[in-house]
Amino acid sequence: MQFLTSLDTTLLRAINQSMANPLFDVLMPFMSGNTAFFPLLIVLATVAIKLGGTRGAFMVAMMALAVLIASNWVCAPLKELFMRPRPAMTLSDIRLLTGNGQGMTSLPSCHATNWGAMTVVAWLFYARTWRLMVPLALLVATSRVYLGVHYPSDVLAGLVIGGVTGWIVTHGLDKIWQAAGRLLFPSWWARRPSLLKAGPSSPPSNLAEASSVSWRHATWALLLILFATRLAYISSDVIGLSEDEAYQWMWSKHLDWAYYSKPPMIAWVQWLGTHLWGDTAFGVRFMSPVLALAFGIMVWLFLHRRTSEQCTFWVLAAISVTPLFAVGATLLTVDAPTVLFHTAAVLSVWIAIERKSYGWWIASGIAMALGFLSKFFSPFLWLGLLLFAWWTPDFRQRIGWKGPVTAFLLNALGTVPVILWNASHGWITATHLQERGGLDHVAGLNLEHLLTFLASIVALLNPVFCIAIAVVVWGFVRLKEKPPLWKFLFCSTIPVLLFYTLLACRAKAQPNWIAPVAPALFVFAALAWHARSQVNHALTKRFLVTGLVLGFPVVLFLHDTHLLTKAFGVTLSEKSDPLTRVRQGQPLAELVQKQMKILAREGPPVFIISDHYGRASLLNFYLPDAQRVLPEDQLSYVLNTDKPQNQYWFWPSYESRTGENAIFVMNTANPRKAPKQLVQDFSSVNSMGTFTLRSEGRAVGHVQLFACHGKNPPEPANPAPKKTEPSIEDDTAAGVALYSAHRFEEAVRHFQNVVRRSEQMLGPEHQQTLANRNNLANALNAMGRSAEAETEHGMVLAIRERLMGPDHAEVLMSRNNLATALLTQGKVTEAEAQYKITLRTRERLQGPDGFDVLKTCFALAACLEAQQKQAEALAWARRAETGWGSTLGPAHPATISARAARERIETSLKQNETAHGPEPGR
């Protein structure tokens, strides 16, 4: 064993060091990983399918499956089993060019494993491919050793493990196909009895029936694979809950007959999921794949009898690569149950008309009631039915009156819970919907909102499929003899599309609002294109293939935008990444929990207030202490308002938490003042700074936190008359007014009196006392009495650091104030030390780009400039300018100030270099 280890290390050094040359230093990192790899792989896969046909497609699919299994379920567990350290961790002389040189994940190499699997699969399908694949696999494996991230034995083991996995997967699936293909896919099996070898084909006796059976089973397999994949996805940690999901999870903790903005179905569905799987992201979302599976089965039951099994398969495949449906099958919002029940209502109404079935009218009424309890959508279907009856007189007798009346009564029964709840809550939902749709004020035509709405719909429905639907609608309008089913589907969708298009002309409309009628549009298009394919199959196929090829990667990357970086080296910005909104919950909770612990050192209990119901709900979900006390109590609240704006209004507020402290969370990248209501609710409110939320190292949001001290008691119904003696707060405000008016001498005398009063009434360590002592120091500094200011700031810093700990925002502010006083006196070295302590702490708490971090960098640059350390000052000024420029924009006043400082320092530095030469170390 010692000999093998020594040989392994010798070969590593030979490849990593002895073979080193400029050409390999460029070639090997490229072979190990580059942004062109995945695009080239896609091109090669396309060529293989184009040239090899079915066999080429099987090879590509088998390679993808073998790599998936080899990388995730073979290589990854083996890494955890062996826990071999990377070479650079144990050998100090290793050249680490790029890649991961740390971690106990050296054996085996997943790069080599993947290439071993692909090489063997390609060889099993096309024997001569070894001439291309083996050299490539060996080159990639060698590159991992050359880069210094693996031992030779790591890549050798990876090649063998990958090759064995590829062989087992390919032959295993081939054996399964040979055994089960005859029963499940008889027509396909007859054409290809083996996946690997082209054998003799024997057409089944009844080809049409065999083809129908094959496509039917393919549809079932597609639905089950999608269901399993979606369950696996929502059980992973790729994304967290969205604000709406967390908000509606809060509803499920307070079950009711309706809620501020929606009917109760979404809360009931979430209640079911979380009672099955617990209060986890998986439990919250579990019912979404379940509802999507039920939806797919329903579409199959309706379509396969009216078109063909093959057509139905491709319709469901098209739906699966349509972003609107794909997102709705993973995130659980009101759209998921609404789409299912509204589509069920539309299809059951048609079956009731088609068969003259009273039972189907009852089914449609139940579906409408359930749809109304999901979202207020069923009135649109009644409008569509009336339009259809008016347009198609021949069907009026078939529709009759008994069935529709029964369905209407059942639908009306579903409205009762919502009506009763609203009647006892001031009809708040009606008010909300009026405000949400911009119907509470006079508005003109807004083309920007309209065009954004239409463009978003096209994107969410897949642009190719949108064009296909538009072609169908145009052809339908021109068609003289319109099939009744086509008419009905057209009538069931047009009221919704017209209503929301008109609404978008006056207010901002969300594209997902039309989601419940999107399935009817797809069914309508499927019927029309199926009929057209009998005449022009090529055009139908062209639309379908183009839509699938465009939609699949879009949907794939929508599920994990980090794949764009891994595949193409493209990193989306915070604003352009659609998954930013589902990655904020966990980092927000971690930040708030950390700050709560700091604030809790003061003694009183700490709760949370947010500026938005979504953030309050995320904190209630992701903070263990908050989740534990629900529903009997609550830890995270929404800021009090004077009228209902969300469901939190109807739940207990934080008014009873008199004397407690709180952290207020506000969504902003730039420092702002605390809301007026918050200031009224607490004895003192101080900013803790702005923070960047990060998920996997990437910015996903920005918040500002405020420390709120001493929740004031609720105001009595008839407040007592105010005392004639001014309060400490009034005295503080008067002093601030004097300071703002530059009456510094008066402000000093005033604040000296306020500090004395505050010490007597509240104590020397009370926050109000310390705030006024801080005000006194600022006034002294403004008068030029910097030594006295230093004393006052030092006293405040010492008390706050002892009470709150060194990381508290107010401690850091006090340290900055002390540094400013020192700098004013010319004690630049001491000021520099204080600024650097503040900077290190803020970097650790807020990240490198936090506003307060950059503000400290700017102050440190001024301090160093005063010491004539121009080179160091320039570096800090540049950092402040670059950071503010990227977060606030180049035109922001902070960026402009930093740019001016940087230019001034650069000019001074050039003058010094001209006169005396460059500074040492520059």
The chain-wide mean pLDDT, for the chain, equals 89
576: pLDDT strictly greater than 70: yes
Q: How confident is the model at residue 640 (pLDDT cuts 50, 70, 90)?
A: very high
- HSE, CB side, 13 Å, CA atoms: give it for residue 154: 30
* pLDDT of amino acid 111: 92
* pLDDT of amino acid 458: 94
Average pLDDT over residues 616-638: 94
270: pLDDT strictly greater than 90: yes
- Dmax over CA atoms of the chain, in Å, equals 106
* pLDDT of amino acid 722: 45
Percent of the chain's residues with pLDDT above 90: 53
Distance, in Å, from the CA atom of 852 to the CA atom of 875, rounded to the nearest integer, reads 17
Instruction: Work out the burial of residue 144: count CB atoms within 10 Å of its CB; fewer than 13 is exposed, 13-18 middle, 19 or more buried.
Output: buried
Angstrom CA distances, 435 to 373, 379, 441, 449, 613, stand at: 21, 20, 8, 16, 17
* pLDDT of amino acid 355: 92
917: pLDDT strictly greater than 70: no
Token pair 């000019």 is found at: 907
Average pLDDT over residues 630-648: 92
Distance, in Å, from the CA atom of 383 to the CA atom of 79, rounded to the nearest integer, reads 61
Residue type, position 114, single letter: N
From 318, 339, 344, 317, select the one nearest 328 (Cα to Cα). Answer: 339
* H, E, C per residue of 363-404: HHHHHHHHHHHHCCCHHHHHHHHHHHHHHCHHHHHHHCCHHH
Q: How confident is the model at residue 536 (pLDDT cuts 50, 70, 90)?
A: confident
Low-confidence winner among 166-170, 272-276, 676-680, 883-887 (lowest mean pLDDT): 883-887
Distance, in Å, from the CA atom of 134 to the CA atom of 112, rounded to the nearest integer, reads 11
Low-confidence winner among 162-166, 235-239, 745-749 (lowest mean pLDDT): 745-749
**Contact of 414 with 372, CB cutoff 8 Å:** yes
* pLDDT of amino acid 721: 47
Sheet holding 698-711, edge to edge: 636-638, 606-610, 661-667, 698-711, 682-695
2: pLDDT strictly greater than 70: yes
672-731 residue pLDDT tens: 999 999 999 999 999 999 999 999 888 999 999 999 999 998 876 555 444 445 677 778
288-328 residue pLDDT tens: 999 999 999 999 999 999 999 999 999 999 999 999 999 99
Which pTM was predicted? 0.79
E strands within 623-667? 636-638, 661-667
* pLDDT of amino acid 921: 46
In the chain, the N- to C-terminal Cα span, in Å, equals 52
Average pLDDT over residues 8-15: 90
Residue type, position 156, single letter: L
